[in-house]
Structure 1
């Protein structure tokens, strides 16, 4: 088995396979230090935690992860909070930075005897309809490499070799939501004890705690502007304006250690299986960060595929592999629907024309329903945490 990519999907898949005695190798383009320090998402759904626990992969997050179950909305009509851990299915998130989770998964994979090749870039996957597909790679020393296996799992993202190698018949559903965020990682303690969603006429702003000393912020941003176009002071001023700091308390400022520009896009590949090639994680579908679903979907898909591969390779039962695509696409499309709903909730047109006023009035009504309706709050909680 060849696994492309050492993110959450690839490492969860690799760990489960190795634990079940299935030989596999993970090919990763980046170096080991980069893999262990790539800052990404940090909110793990309850089902994700259960999957990790079931496979002996939750030791770190159980020691250092923090339960979280509150979000706060700030709007022109004031602010309100939802204790979503007490609503819907009554399940919280666990806050655990993705780089810490990946580091845990990598350590466990190597302890179990898993083979990983850092600095090895997969270039293409060939003969996916044959019995022994080939992965053409560029090794760390620049030499070409060739890897053959019974199956290949593409866990290498939207720009990886797996997607580039898809045969005719693959369908990509794509939507550009027309919204851009500036993603920020600040060396600053959290300013709220909740996830903060601020809706403002100048655009969205978001606050997500990562640790006691690091906070993730998002700021709706001009499409096409570089990440360093604004000074740190301007960013903090804009965050305080949109989060209504004068009304609800100042933000705790600090140095920005990471900036990135995120165009909110969604896409889904169908099917997720092409012969001996399987798509997992961001390679299977890209989801906007508005609802913290990406890493959770990746772990779920990896676990589903691992079970199916184990059944096929150890017991000769191919039914799980045959059902993999349809089963995971059901979860992906439900997550996409909620993410799309969140984008509409948090962003509105900035114009003063009749259509913009109409859409912003609808958005305001949705927020009012979320503030006052228990059934709407239960629906939100179930979909916010669930995958």
Structure 2
């Protein structure tokens, strides 16, 4: 196992410097290293903190195939659980979609993202990959040149510099890669006007399906993570503190919105974590700026309404690895020119479906005529999803696909 902590301002180098050790960065690192491309991952957290980031846990069929194709799926194949059913609970009753038998007949694999990250990290280190924990990238300089430099600092606050041929920004929407974009970069942004209280509960799942509940009090969601832990979402007003409600009040609200009186009480337990999420989306165009390339949340942020974030990250990492290998190993300069266009086609399709889900699950605010019109449209969408096989096939294809 090889890790590296910088102890001075001496400049180090790699053909590709990868910023961030999330699903995008670690998938990219594994694929480049497997092709003999000299690369290093810079990660500001230590290894323990990296493995404790509880995020989404629904992997699309294409994501699983990608990881299998590159020998990165051992953990999820041992411990992941196939899932293919979702249930909608509305004021008009409830209905279930066996989406695994609809559309392309593909399933999700439930596997916590922190476990996937741990698997990818272990595989990368065991193969001799380089990573510098506790190293925070601050800026990418000379990205329009042929030898960009990443300015960073280590866990002790000491400066560090890494020179590269290419820098892969996989460090999120607030990372150094985005901060280093030129003024010509386009940022398309959308605030969906909805906030969720995200909850991780030490409680067994209460449904054998993903649960989406629409209620006059707001949306509620149920997503199993493990046999002992369940993720819930509660719609809340913008600006609501994460600790605004006691555990008992949280469970009472979940019972109300999930219609426990009609369908049975939820299985309660200790709430392990709370996070308020303001649903928003953004996309950067293009994804290549000279020697700086973006992937994962640095390329596009997508709302959690359709579980697309980690799946897009893995897809983009594979496309970026293919392009970098083409350029660095085979001298195919056109590979990188195609990268942005190929990724953005997938990103915008995922964004469209995520936006559609948001409109499906959340009542229009207000009581005026326009709000009533939009609310009637939402109810019509739900009714069509309940009754139309063509609509159900479309939903299944886009729900599992990226």
Match of 1:321 in 2: 336
SS of the residue 1:101 aligns to: helix
Q: What are the residue-to-residue correspondences of 1:129-168 with 2, within 5 Å?
A: 129-168=144-183
Indicate whether 1:93 and 2:108 are aligned.
Answer: yes
Bigger shift: 134-143 or 96-105?
A: 134-143
Query: Which one of 121, 136, 145 corresponds to residue 121 of structure 1?
Result: 136
Indicate whether 1:292 and 2:301 are aligned.
Answer: no
Query: Which one of 272, 276, 282 corresponds to residue 261 of structure 1?
Result: 276
Distance 1:187 1:160 in 2: 32
Indicate whether 1:348 and 2:363 are aligned.
Answer: yes
Q: What are the residue-to-residue correspondences of 1:264-283 with 2, within 5 Å?
A: 264-283=279-298
Indicate whether 1:214 and 2:229 are aligned.
Answer: yes
Indicate whether 1:67 and 2:82 are aligned.
Answer: yes
Cα offset, 1:225, TM superposition:
1.4
Q: Contact 1:201/1:350 (CA < 8 Å) preserved in 2?
A: no
Cα offset, 1:18, TM superposition:
0.6
Match of 1:337 in 2: 352
Distance 1:34 1:222 in 2: 30
Cα offset, 1:320, TM superposition:
1.5
Distance 2:27 2:191 in 1: 30
Deviations 1:73-115 (A, max 9, x none): 0000000000000000000000000000000000000011011
Indicate whether 1:237 and 2:252 are aligned.
Answer: yes
SS of the residue 1:149 aligns to: strand
Distance 1:133 1:42 in 2: 35
Query: TM-score with structure 1 length normalisation?
Result: 0.99
Q: Contact 1:17/1:23 (CA < 8 Å) preserved in 2?
A: yes
- How large is the Cα RMSD of the aligned pairs? 0.6
SS of the residue 1:216 aligns to: strand
SS of the residue 1:230 aligns to: coil
Cα offset, 1:168, TM superposition:
2.0
Match of 1:223 in 2: 238
Structure 2 regions of 5+ residues with no counterpart? 1-15
Deviations 1:26-78 (A, max 9, x none): 00011110111110000000000010001100000000000000000000000
Aligned residues: 387
Distance 2:350 2:365 in 1: 27
Distance 1:155 1:61 in 2: 22
Structure 1 regions of 5+ residues with no counterpart? none
SS of the residue 2:284 aligns to: strand
SS of the residue 2:354 aligns to: helix
Q: Contact 1:185/1:214 (CA < 8 Å) preserved in 2?
A: yes
Deviations 1:249-276 (A, max 9, x none): 1100001111000000010000000000
Indicate whether 1:187 and 2:202 are aligned.
Answer: yes
SS of the residue 1:153 aligns to: strand
Distance 2:157 2:127 in 1: 28
Match of 2:10 in 1: none
Bigger shift: 343-352 or 260-269?
A: 343-352
Query: TM-score with structure 2 length normalisation?
Result: 0.96
Bigger shift: 188-197 or 30-39?
A: 30-39
Distance 1:80 1:174 in 2: 33
Distance 1:97 1:248 in 2: 27
Distance 1:314 1:274 in 2: 21
Cα offset, 1:352, TM superposition:
2.5
SS of the residue 2:194 aligns to: strand
Match of 2:7 in 1: none
Q: Contact 1:122/1:138 (CA < 8 Å) preserved in 2?
A: yes
Bigger shift: 351-360 or 115-124?
A: 351-360
Cα offset, 1:349, TM superposition:
2.0
Distance 2:186 2:193 in 1: 22
Distance 1:350 1:110 in 2: 50
Indicate whether 1:385 and 2:378 are aligned.
Answer: no
